[in-house]
Chains A and B, each alone.
Chain A
Amino acid sequence: GDSVTQMEGPVTLSEEAFLTINCTYTATGYPSLFWYVQYPGEGLQLLLKATKADDKGSNKGFEATYRKETTSFHLEKGSVQVSDSAVYFCALSENRDDKIIFGKGTRLHILP
């Protein structure tokens, strides 16, 4: 079945460091891919998405490119801020299905 694997956390970085959170997936069809973010005490928010191969999703300085050849959707940011401290979830959805499959989440700590 479909699945999402993302790097385990916690990830701890200093402010202004470069961030990469790895995400790979397995799917039988052509899924849409998402990154969600969960700030402390809140629900999940969509951070960015890509719906077909080679699409790049971007938002708030974060980017991720849909790589079909490596089945990956790695999240990157050039210069992180303390306010980026949160839990990040990679996810996929096949259009034929009504559900989203989430990775286990990666906790990110940014130190001032």
Chain B
Amino acid sequence: EADIYQTPRYLVIGTGKKITLECSQTMGHDKMYWYQQDPGMELHLIHYSYGVNSTEKGDLSSESTVSRIRTEHFPLTLESARPSHTSQYLCASSDLNPMSYNEQFFGPGTRLTVL
């Protein structure tokens, strides 16, 4: 079954730790995205990718970094986590085919708490 996965679902860590949030999809989609969702529910695009070796910054500045070495995998890394990074992180993917109308498929999210 085609799907999009995120691990871990919940993460509580201390300040200064390095973390990587994993995102994988089995749909063969070229485009992938990372969103940060604040407690007020609003979604902010922080990174996206058009395909392997492509990464772009989104509309909201973020201290995180991403990589895209394989089509199906789009991990997000924080080198030194801070309490201000506490948030819900959502990964999504979409097809390059124009007939998809940019419909995005979302993973279940990672809820990150930095103490």
Contacts and interface: CB of A to CB of B under 8 A. Distances in A.
B102 interface: yes
Contacts, number: 58
A107 B101 contact: no
A43 B107 contact: yes
Contacts of A98: 31, 48, 50, 94, 102
Contact of A49 (B40, B92, B101): B101
Contacts of A105: 41-43
Q: Which of B40, B48, B101 has most chain A Cβ within 10 Å?
A: B101
Interface residues of A, number: 24
A100 B50 contact: no
A89 interface: yes
B103 A97 contact: no
Contacts of A41: 108-109
B51 to A, nearest CB: 11
A87 interface: yes
B23 to A, nearest CB: 11
A22 interface: no
A107 B40 CA distance: 10
Interface of B: 4, 6, 31, 33, 40-43, 45, 48, 50, 90, 92, 94, 98, 101-109
